[in-house]
Amino acid sequence: MLARSVRACAQRSVRVGGGLSRPLKAALNVRFYSEKTPKDDEAKKPSQQPMSILNDDFLAQAGIDIDSSAAKPAAEGTSADADASDASGVTEEQRQRWKDTAKKAKNVSSTEVKRERYTNMFYIAIFGSIIGGTAYLGRDWDTDEDRKRHPDVPTGYTSPVHIWNRASARFSDIFNHFKEPAFENLLPPPPPEPYNRPLTLVISLEDLLIHSEWTREHGWRTAKRPGLDYFLGYLSQYYEIVVFSSQYFMQIEKPIMKLDPYHAYFSHILAREATRYQDGKIIKDLSLMNRDLGKIVMLDTDPAAYSLQPENAIPMPKWDGKAGDTGLIDLVPFLEWLVTQPIKDVRPILETYKGKELPVALEYQRREALARQSFEAEWAARHHQSGDWAASFLGIQPPTPPKPMMQIDFIRQEGLKGYNSFRQYLAENGEKLLAEEKQREAEILGEQKMTLSKIVTEGMPTADDMVKAAAEKELQRKQAN
């Protein structure tokens, strides 16, 4: 409408004046609409980069340290951003990583938030349990037994070091349960006279009495050492023989039953459960045997086994399973002589055999030969005379006196008689003894009247309980007769 009005006024001017002035012509040439497109306007506008949501406040809330003094406004252009990045030590790659992290954080679900909350609560509970457990373990000693077990750790709450030492000691005791022997006294008290033996012989099982090996043809096979029956049968007259194995009882039960089917040789059987594990070694502590250490002799092939009491041990070489071995038989004379001597402590005698070139058995044979030679020479000098006057008068050669016998020879004769009679007794009554033993065990277990609640509250009957029950029943049987 405005354009039409201007044109109409111009036409009137032309009609009136007959001519147009130069300013009017210029005004008529003006166009009142634009031919520019929106693209042209956008092209002329300066390019603006999209603003990132990772501003300083957002990054600060996310826990990222940003030097705010080095930050520049985004309007300063690309060069200013690069300068700011260099000044703050943040590269474009890091900014892009933060941007992706912000996008992920923005898309976290409520389930993940709960999971994170529960995780934090779990960590707090674990930390609190550790603190509470340490405080509980660091409490004062409860019993006198604990004080005796840890004499170096004092009582009281005067110092945090004492609390920490008690906590450490109690924490170590938890693992010592698996390293220490299962019982404080590995053997019951010795039987009274005349059923006890003067000495206790502790012998190993593996590579001393038996040898196990595996082959592709036969698999696992176990061999019994030559002379083992004689060794056990003969020495069982004098010694309380205790088998002390480094393996678990379930592994040695069958071999033991094969070696002593009538329970006539072995007085007690100890297994891995009775050993002490220390520094990667299995140690057999003789001080827990409930016997006088001066009356214990130990035979073992592992030096670590008798490392606590080496003065009680006779080192033995390992048997490799070959036939014709005489190691056990050669040792019988020495052990027989040792047990028949009126001594109170065997350790000084065993000490004299250590450090010798010969093993104990051969060293004893050498000493016995020297003693026999000296004895025979003294006997000959004592019984030698200038000549039998009667034989000389009659011209008859004097009779040759019998070869003298040492004390150990008489002991050996009696020992062989006892061994032979004992073997004969087992051959005649062995099966009967086994049947009676099984019957007594069944009667004792039947009298126990074990129930599940009794097992849970009182536990299984111990060997001492079974022995007491058997003794009471035997007494009742005698009184009834």
DSSP 300-314: ES-TTTTSS-GGGEE
Q: Is the pLDDT of residue 223 over 90?
A: yes
Residue 153 carries which side chain, given as an amino acid letter?
A: V
Could you report the per-residue pLDDT of 238-283, keeping only the tens digit for each?
999 999 999 999 999 999 999 999 999 999 999 999 999 988 899 9
Q: Which residue has the higher pLDDT, 453 or 148?
A: 148
Q: How far is CA 474 from CA 73, 377, 440, 462, 469, in A?
A: 105, 56, 10, 18, 9
CA distance 7 to 20: 13
Tokens of 412: 């050996």
For the ranges 103-117, 324-338, 382-396, the maximum mean pLDDT occurs at 324-338
* Whole-number pLDDT of residue 230: 96
In the structure, what pLDDT confidence band is assigned to residue 379 with cuts at 50, 70 and 90? confident
Q: How far is CA 478 from CA 52, 471, 472, 473, 481, in A?
A: 103, 11, 10, 9, 5
Determine what percent of the chain falls in helix, strand and coil, rounding each to the nearest 5.
Answer: 55, 10, 35
In the structure, what pLDDT confidence band is assigned to residue 97 with cuts at 50, 70 and 90? confident
Give the DSSP H/E element, type plus range, for residue 439.
helix 407-448
Q: Is the pLDDT of residue 131 over 70?
A: yes
Could you report the per-residue pLDDT of 38-80, keeping only the tens digit for each?
555 555 555 555 566 666 666 666 666 555 454 444 444 445 4
3-state SS class at 404: coil
Judge if pTM exceeds 0.75.
no
Percentage of the chain lying above the pLDDT 70 cut: 70
40 and 49 Cβ atoms separated by less than 8 Å: no
Delimit the CATH 3.40.50.1000 region(s) of the chain: 199-354
* Whole-number pLDDT of residue 170: 84
Q: What is the mean pLDDT of residues 177-184?
A: 82
181 and 272 Cβ atoms separated by less than 8 Å: no
Range name among 77-81, 260-264, 305-309, 310-314 with the lowest pLDDT average: 77-81
Could you report the per-residue pLDDT of 332-371, keeping only the tens digit for each?
999 999 999 998 999 999 999 998 888 999 999 999 999 9
Q: How far is CA 101 from CA 56, 61, 81, 124, in A?
A: 15, 13, 21, 26
Give the DSSP H/E element, type plus range, for residue 414.
helix 407-448
248 and 271 Cβ atoms separated by less than 8 Å: yes
* Whole-number pLDDT of residue 15: 46
CA distance 28 to 8: 11
Q: Is the pLDDT of residue 120 over 90?
A: yes
Burial of 141-164, coded b for 16+ CB within 10 Å and e otherwise, reads: beeeebeeebeebeeeeeeeebbe
Q: Which residue has the higher pLDDT, 15 or 405?
A: 405
Q: What is the mean pLDDT of residues 97-113?
A: 68
Superfamily of domain 199-354: HAD superfamily/HAD-like (3.40.50.1000)
* Whole-number pLDDT of residue 191: 86
